[in-house]
Amino acid sequence: MKQTLIVATLLLLPFSALAQDQNAIEPAEPESGFERMQRGFGMIFDGLREEVDPTVESLKDKAREMAPEMRDWVMAMGPALRDLADKIGDLNDYHAPEKLPNGDIILRRKERADDAPQSDLIAPSGPTDI
């Protein structure tokens, strides 16, 4: 009995391999290193997006809640901020803020070429030798 099963298995083995070959999907070309990295980074970014999406949605909800209050604040403070911006001018005209030992914070204006003293145009105050 065992011999018959072994012989039947050996006889059917080539047919099963043939059936597998006909049903098999042709193998795709092997991925290059760049394609693997691209797929890996895609998976990482998909995972990060899934983690960050709930936080972004909650921030959007908070922004929607705060929008009317922010609008009111801008309407109230807008003119004062506009006046301050007019007085300050371009922020590139100033050095970085400095904090003094006593706690004061000063903003030094940068000297521009047209603000620099023109000492060579000023006549000396004493007698001139010729």
Smallest CA-to-CA distance from 92 within 114, 106, 107 is with 107
40 phi, psi to nearest 5 deg = -65, -45
Q: What is the pLDDT of residues 13-32, one digit of tens each?
A: 555 554 554 445 555 677 78
Q: Give the total residue count for the chain.
A: 130
- Residue 108 C-beta-side C-alpha neighbours within 13 Å: 8
Q: What is the pLDDT of residues 16-73, one digit of tens each?
A: 554 554 445 555 677 788 888 888 889 998 888 888 888 888 888 888 888 999 888 8
Q: What is the distance between the alpha carbons of residues 78 and 73, in angstroms, rounded to a whole number?
A: 8
**Secondary structure of 42-91 in the HEC alphabet?**
HHHHHHHHHHHHHHHHHHHHHHHHHHHHHHHHHHHHHHHHHHHHHHHCCH
Q: What is the pLDDT of residues 85-105, one digit of tens each?
A: 888 888 888 899 999 999 999
Residue 3 — very low, low, confident or very high, per pLDDT cuts 50/70/90? low
